[in-house]
Structure 1
């Protein structure tokens, strides 16, 4: 079984493509009648689905993994803990699942990239859901200690009230793209021309 393409994608940090490549390889190997259970990179495959926010596919993959693999490869179970927390919408615990395992060399880059992506997603969620939020809750959602969370949100323009230990969320300006309608431009041009003459 040739996993060189998966390795290339991991090395080039093209993590968003890994799940599809693994899916296609798994189908190809299965159609060739080759057994792949023991040496298949389940942890990479599972985390790649989680990385692209395809928790349903990750769940189905988890269910298809033989129990012997789940028992003999603790990293696979550790990856699924992340998936479980996402499935249950236990957002703060996702960070604990990430930090709760000593990841192999193969997975360190993918885990770090997912963690960063997830932190950004949680920050966007806080932006849309709150006008004020406690330092403690912010730190929990972002998976950071209170000092790091404070520095992170202050860099994004939030303000902090030290007395109440609350942040005031700075909403991002909503950018709306206006499309230029050629007929309106033509009418405006004619109107300005008429005013000038």
Structure 2
């Protein structure tokens, strides 16, 4: 369990640093126990939803490779998903243009429109650290 605890800490560090590609790679790099696996999958999916929402709010265009890394998907899959949601993609320049109105959610490797806007309130860094500390303490006991 100590190796798994270290891996949980590594994921927490990536979250703290807002290193979205690092979160996905750290989660997928470890073989999680069946107790922790669903938590890590949920964390990966929540991170993907958050990244997708941030891109749709903050960018008028983004390089497809950067977008794919930010949402943790292969480029082709990421571009296919956004095209299905009404975003635009320029294959010559390899740019993705987000659709501004509405909120979209990303689930495991598929993009699904949200039936109602799901505003995610920002969690202060101190609260995130407190949650992670509680989780690590729980795993140690």
- TM-score, length basis structure 2: 0.69
Indicate the structure (1 or 2) with the bigger Cα radius of gyration: 1
Is 1:116 matched up with 2:116? no
5+ long unaligned stretches in structure 2: 104-115, 117-141
5 Å-filtered alignment, 1:84-95, equals 84-95=13-24
What does the per-residue CA deviation read over 1:106-149, in whole Å, with 9 as the maximum and x for residues that have no partner? Answer: 11111111111110010001011101001100110001111111
- Structure holding more helix per residue: 1
Is 1:154 matched up with 2:83? yes
- Structure holding more strand per residue: 2
Structure 1 runs of 4+ aligned residues shifted over 4 Å read none
Cα distance in 2 for residues equivalent to 1:173 and 1:97: 31
Question: C-alpha displacement at 1:173, in angstroms?
Answer: 4.1
For the Cα contact (< 8 Å) 2:62–2:96, is it kept in 1? yes
5 Å-filtered alignment, 1:92-111, equals 92-111=21-40
Where 2:36 maps in the other structure, the secondary structure is helix
RCO higher in structure (CA 8 A, sep ≥6): 2
1:125 alignment partner in structure 2: 54
What does the per-residue CA deviation read over 1:23-70, in whole Å, with 9 as the maximum and x for residues that have no partner? Answer: xxxxxxxxxxxxxxxxxxxxxxxxxxxxxxxxxxxxxxxxxxxxxxxx
- TM-score, length basis structure 1: 0.50
Cα distance in 2 for residues equivalent to 1:78 and 1:132: 34
For the Cα contact (< 8 Å) 2:88–2:97, is it kept in 1? yes
1:140 alignment partner in structure 2: 69
1:168 alignment partner in structure 2: 97
Cα distance in 2 for residues equivalent to 1:98 and 1:152: 22
Q: In structure 2, do the counterparts of structure 1 residues 163 and 120 end up closer, same or farther at CA, with 3 Å as the change threshold? A: same
Cα distance in 2 for residues equivalent to 1:111 and 1:133: 27
